[in-house]
A = this chain, B = another copy of it.
């Protein structure tokens, strides 16, 4: 297949490239000048996809790292980093905002581009690592010195393909392939197509070890890609099995496709086959004959990479607890706008329980244990096999009653809950059947309506994105 047309659409335009490089150069020159003026022993460097020339059209995040010598105290590095960022942002009339990764950094919007100003240590090898961001320098150097000019287009094809099949990005929300991982995969297999050909036969635990460190056997992950700059690190550690599988299946689907027009569609957003209206979604849920509950609540102001694990953990804990109460979950998931709201969805196929359960007591053999149990439980005991048992009324006959029970200050300890979610979920939650929630007049005016319906569509039709 000829990828020219696709590349024409995804490569940055000449104008975009010029603008970005001019801007980055100016920023770096300015920073290095004031570093010299202020007699600070540090150097600003361009890193990341802009430095590597592997960014997609319109996706240029300019990463400027301010490198301090290893002798700099951490506190000083953090303080100077932010200060220099602010200074530069003001000089260029940017709009600055603090963020937090392994330590605080500044993001500023200048001339329509997002610039990250990140302080870091100038290290020569991973052994000198003081904070996680320090690696970026090593990664940038490794890629710029190893990736051939013609392979940069291959990286772009891969990144775009990954984006459209929803496997691109190592942030928790996606759990997919980091940009650096994409670059290493192209280094390994040479081209986008060669990578896909190989990926369709990957096994669990496949090892990619460009520098032949031989350390792959120390990891137990679905995809083990040894960092060329650190033999003890798996670049694919954050990749979820699910996303690796999605990529494998998408590779097969893409390669099995004989129609080139359809192949090109893999580089475009999925054009969903079904209509996504409230009534269509409701019809689909009705067809499933399940009982679907939505739990809506307000979320705290925390970064997405904190928010998502907490939402996931809470949702999974409620799901597990419902199962222990004899309800059966067909499927559960969560949605969030990452700003104000989150909604858990619990789709149940067993959602009503009969009145009694059999509560198991001690084995009958010890008279003393039986007498103790009888004193505690009353005398309505009987035996099943060699167990003393009691038919007692079930505490929770519906999933709603259980959820309402645990979402209180007294009982929230029964579930594992994200620490930042606890208070808000108790104070603001709203539990309703999906049919009531979606039929509510307010829903039609909700700002998140479109995004949420799309999420529900993905819920009903899983893995749409891996195929065109």
Interface string of A439-468 (1 = CB under 8 A from B): 000000000000000000000001100100
Given that A204-B365, A364-B245 are known contacts, is A288 also in contact with B354, CB under 8 Å in the complex? yes
Q: Please name the residue on chain B nearest to A292 by beta carbon.
A: B354
Contact of A252 among B289, B367, B385, B386 (CB under 8 A): B367
Given that A289-B354, A354-B288, A354-B289 are known contacts, is A249 also in contact with B204, CB under 8 Å in the complex? no
Contact B354 A242 (CB under 8 A): no
Chain A interface residue number, banded: 35 or more
- B residues within 8 A CB of A330? 354, 356
Contact A365 B288 (CB under 8 A): no
Q: Please name the residue on chain B nearest to A382 by beta carbon.
A: B463
Contact of A367 among B200, B204, B289 (CB under 8 A): B200
Q: Please name the residue on chain B nearest to A356 by beta carbon.
A: B288
Q: Is A279 an interface residue (CB 8 A)?
A: no
Bound together, the chains give a CA A328 to CA B357 distance in angstroms of 12
Contact B462 A385 (CB under 8 A): no
Contact B364 A249 (CB under 8 A): yes
State the copy count for this chain.
Answer: 2
- Shortest CB-to-CB span from A368 to chain B, Å, is 10
Q: Is A72 an interface residue (CB 8 A)?
A: no
Interface string of A356-389 (1 = CB under 8 A from B): 1000000011010010000000000011111000
Contact A203 B365 (CB under 8 A): yes
- Shortest CB-to-CB span from A233 to chain B, Å, is 24
Q: Please list 30 pairs of residues, one from A and one from B, whose beta carbons are closer than 8 Å in the complex, sorted by A's number.
A: A200-B367, A204-B365, A222-B386, A241-B385, A241-B386, A242-B383, A242-B385, A245-B383, A245-B385, A245-B386, A246-B383, A248-B364, A249-B364, A249-B370, A252-B367, A252-B370, A288-B356, A289-B354, A289-B355, A289-B397, A290-B354, A326-B349, A326-B350, A330-B354, A330-B356, A349-B354, A350-B350, A382-B463, A382-B466, A384-B462
Residues of A participating in the B interface, judged by any CB pair closer than 8 Å: 200-204, 222, 241-242, 245-246, 248-249, 252, 287-290, 326, 328, 330, 349-350, 353-356, 364-365, 367, 370, 382-386, 397, 462-463, 466
Which 6 residue pairs are nearest across A and B when measured between Cβ atoms?
Answer: A382-B463, A349-B354, A289-B355, A290-B354, A289-B354, A382-B462
5 more A-B residue pairs beyond the given contacts A249-B370, A249-B383, with a C-beta to C-beta distance below 8 A: A202-B365, A248-B364, A382-B463, A382-B466, A383-B463
